[in-house]
Chains A and B, each alone.
Chain A
């Protein structure tokens, strides 16, 4: 059974830093693109970042590029999101998701999410 479990959320001050983790199990983690998607309070889903299976390619939402870093450790079946210099508008539930590429690209499994609150 595919499982994705996020952790590391919490309260962070503007200008601070936080690292989110996503523990994957039930599939060959090293064979899949992975992604972070967020949902701010009262808002919809928003793509944040994704990363190629070997970590050699990464894509970011324009508003987080240069502040957020997505990474992975295939030996530990783990995905990470380093959040630096956060802003109030980064307050959201952050989900990790597995991406399957079959002609198109689909996010077929998601975690339950971890809440990040940016506030002083």
Chain B
């Protein structure tokens, strides 16, 4: 099975910072990659699909890039509501998630 590895596991940042999270697939997956935000106690929220397409309603400070095995999620200017855990996900069988990156203050 394809493994998805995120880095870092935890990221300390401040409001206004530019933040980058990396996701690496164990084999090439073209652009079959989604990104989600999860705040404890709330439903996960789809941010990006097909590696770089912004989901409707998601603020433009979020962006995604990459193809093949290496992908990035970037938050251009971190806002207070962005402190959360972010997951990448393979977007076909077996829909594997990365282990998550927690963005904390």
Using a CB–CB distance below 8 Å, which chain A residues touch chain B? 4, 35, 37, 44-47, 50, 59, 61-62, 95, 97, 102-113
Contact = CB atoms under 8 A, between A and B. Distances in A.
The size class of the interface chain B forms with chain A is: 20 to 34
The SS class assigned to the A binding surface is: strand
Interface stretch (B19-27, B73-81, B88-96): B88-96
Interface of B: 31-32, 34, 36, 38, 41-46, 49-50, 55, 85, 87, 89, 91-100
Contact of A110 (B44, B95, B100): B44
B79 to A, nearest CB: 21
23 contacts: A4-B43, A37-B44, A44-B85, A44-B99, A44-B100, A45-B36, A45-B38, A45-B44, A45-B87, A45-B89, A47-B96, A62-B94, A95-B43, A104-B92, A105-B91, A105-B95, A106-B34, A107-B44, A107-B46, A108-B46, A110-B43, A111-B43, A112-B42
A112 B43 contact: yes
Contacts of B92: 104-105
Contacts of A44: 85, 87, 97-100
Given A44-B100, A45-B97, A104 B43 contact: no
Given A95-B43, A107-B34, A47 B95 contact: yes
Contacts of B94: 47, 59, 61-62
Given A45-B44, A105-B91, 10 more contacts: A4-B43, A44-B98, A44-B100, A45-B38, A45-B87, A61-B94, A62-B94, A95-B44, A102-B49, A112-B43
B97 to A, nearest CB: 4
Contact of A50 (B45, B91, B95): B95
